[in-house]
Amino acid sequence: MRQVFLDTETTGLSAAGGDRIVEIGCIEMVNRRLSGRTLHYYVNPGRSSHPDALKVHGLTDEFLADKPSFAQVAAEIAEFIGGAELVIHNAEFDVGFLDAEFERLGHPRVATVVGGIADSLAMARELFPGKGNSLDALCKRLEVDNSARDYHGALLDAGLLAEVYVRMTRGQKSLVIDAADEAGTDTALPLVDLTTFELIVVAPSADEEAAHAAVLADLDKACGGKTVYLALGAQPRMA
């Protein structure tokens, strides 16, 4: 199964109102392992970011001035995500911006070129109802290191999302899969007849017996003579 973890940064919150994408990051995973393929672009949106958006991503007009337009990278983006299942945190937001950008160029909408869209925010709300389910909150809850996240960055966030997704969907502790895990869980193991093994019982020494009795006596004293073990008439003897 091929999946692409995708994140965007934008000039504001309203694609319908004319806000544009300023950064896109994609990370490919095949059969739940990172393939090493990524796609990352800063994009000149042709307009300034809203001050609140700028506080989130830190991408100034001056920085974006010499970056390609979305039109210049649209074909590569469409090729990279084509046929894959997209995994996006709050998918409606990012897909809405991508659709708006593609429609300006006469390209098909995202849903028509990908194999499916999974919203990790909806998944998290189902797994952790009533709790904060932002990407930062999930990183903290699932012990994913996000210490490098000073600003929101599309490629960094896509990588964090991949880690979070794997932990949410099967409890795997890391994207690094060892040989035993790679072998799968369907491997048939030989049956072993345990009756063929001799159980060795090691008898306690006199000193061990005495030490055990002393511990029981201390416990009995501490609980006011209510030790069930002694109340049943058992002798303080190690098994």
> Which of the following is catalytic: 57, 89, 107, 152?
152
Question: Which phi-psi region, left, alpha or beta, contains residue 212 (left: φ > 0; alpha: ψ -120 to 50)?
Answer: alpha
Verify whether residue 40 is a known catalytic residue: no
Phi, psi of 223 (to 5 degrees): -100, 15
Q: Give the max Cα distance, the chain.
A: 89
The C-alpha atoms of residue 226 and residue 44 are separated, in whole angstroms, by 78
Structure tokens of 89? 């945190």
Sheet architecture: strand order including 33-42:
33-42, 21-30, 2-10, 85-88, 116-119
Catalytic center residues: 152
